[in-house]
Amino acid sequence: MYVCVCKAVTDNQVVRAIDQGACTRRQLMQCTGAGGVCGKCTQSIKSLLDERVCRQRTMQQA
């Protein structure tokens, strides 16, 4: 599913960038381009980031 229509970035691309080390919206924008045009996808990207980073932290603690 596209999360950023302006840059045609999918949720899978965002998750992959997070898994490869991107941990801020700025880094995700630099990696994928998402969020750098109109900004309407900012909340979706933040939600993906929060969810994924939280999951990574939980897995590290287990």
Which stretches of the chain bind ligand FES, using CB under 6 A?
4-7, 34-41
Q: Are 34 and 16 in contact (CB under 8 A)?
A: no
User: Shortest gap between Cβ of 22 and ligand FES (angstroms)?
Assistant: 15
Instruction: Give Cα 21 to chain centroid, integer Å.
Output: 11
User: Shortest gap between Cβ of 9 and ligand FES (angstroms)?
Assistant: 7
| Residue 7, token pair as written in the block | 């840059």
Of 37 and 54, which CB lies nearer to ligand FES in the complex structure? 37
Of 6 and 53, which CB lies nearer to ligand FES in the complex structure? 6
> What whole-number distance in Å separates Cα of residue 61 and Cα of residue 6?
37
